[in-house]
Chain A
């Protein structure tokens, strides 16, 4: 038992720390203290991943997986949380929702993500998914006096529960078909007993749950409404951490059962079609968005599409590409949302036209935003390019060249709406425009993110190797 606690140190730390946070908030009532403690918690998780990386294996029976894959995905979640915390405080104060509970819920959500990213059992995936989702529903409704925020929370909750229903039903059917909940044993059962139609239905339903969370078409429609209504910083968290969690969980399920599915061309084709639809709808709809938060929502749909290309490839290459993509996407998207949060004022000043001439007034912010936009558009030498290259290359290797071509075309379309922001910022004349309220922590975090995004484009190899390694060991 003690050994298990140590093996899953990030989760152990997080679970203990969340109690500390709640007690602290309950007795001290100081949001700033809670914020710092939350940041320390995330930093502790990151530190534990690096200092005491868990060896390959299982913990708590076969409930949790440990090892490189888990380390990598936990790192993504913790980074996402840490970055969101560091860009949050000024925005929350501005919107008068500077509650300590915001950070506590954020932290609880991260525990859910970590459960998803290290699960080896469908029951744990489900609990993780729910923990994450319930926390996110609350985050969406944080702007309690704002109708749009209430609506976002309600919509997210209703549709999320709807999808969770399917997800749970899928788990039930899979259990019915194989008699197992542990993923390795499911694979073993499939190998001995064969793959039944019931299992396929169960798997499809399970996939629907994941596809909803990553906002793949046609399960995506909640995304723009929820991102727009939620507090901007919460949207940053939803679009990155939860997406990364759903993808890592999806990879865990697929890589486990792929052993038992000698020819998963059907699954591959299904993901390929969904990826195409997702990239197309996400990018094309983003073209017409003026509101940057909605634009980023559609862009996040499109990016889910790119990541699904890696899933469709169905190889280690593809999966590790998705991991890398999830990391770089987390960085650049939190960055983009962070800049929006700095400039936003009570739901105004979020349109692209509000950014006219930003460069003249806030050169630093404009420069940072430009870096994030370029990276999101996938232009070299930024990290986004490497991520895209990796998933598309995996698709080509998996004989899905057509899919890679569609992906490249979709990215070409995406350049339009990302660069539109840049053009507004640098080439239009300023209007009596926003006063930025970036504080030291926020600016520092944003600059750091931009630098890392840049570095991950120039020196991607080390991180790519880590991602590759995570997949290599995980599949053995």
Chain B
């Protein structure tokens, strides 16, 4: 039987042989983890620790001062923090719901319906996986300008809604839904939309969660849209505001606020992934690109 042992991949329990794997991976894991720890630790440092010499990595006397200052800073500016938060939540929700909705619709058609041009469309979308949005920031600007969307919420929402990766992953997952189930529903007299709504959608929840996470990540930290398409300060989003705070205001008071802002932007992303991670792994199992 050579060296083969059962349970080499995805073992059920801990074995001695795994120690060398852990030893190999641990230094790398620490290198990856330390900056993340720093984001947390730095945000809770009081003023004297932020500028202590020699600098200290870990916080000793954690305080919420930085967060308090961050919220206070916005009360003196013309636009209250609440406005930025509202804008961000609105835009994020619209993009996530929008992109999941249109991707599941399109994925259902591409996976389960028969029509002309199906394979061509799939090929085009596969090619679009390598699309790099920053490469077309100028034409996008021109289009948004031509459509009269400059200084509207639409400029923040619409360009981010169609995500080739989202459609691709959901479509691959939808392929796993057994055709017999769908045939049965048609025989019962269900319409295409009923099949989509009642049969396919409930069965592809993991892919929906993954699509939602990916589009959330894209929109949540998006600074570019706010800076290129929006000149009306009241429509700009939280990450943009925090970015101006952190880059322009690199003064002593600024650093603590920046640290707090960084943490506020990071935590929702992290939490969402932790909550949905088993769904994501489930979807990724079907992510093969042929």
- The finding on whether chains A and B are genuine partners in a shared complex, rather than unrelated, reads no
B residues within 8 Å of A by Cβ?
A: none
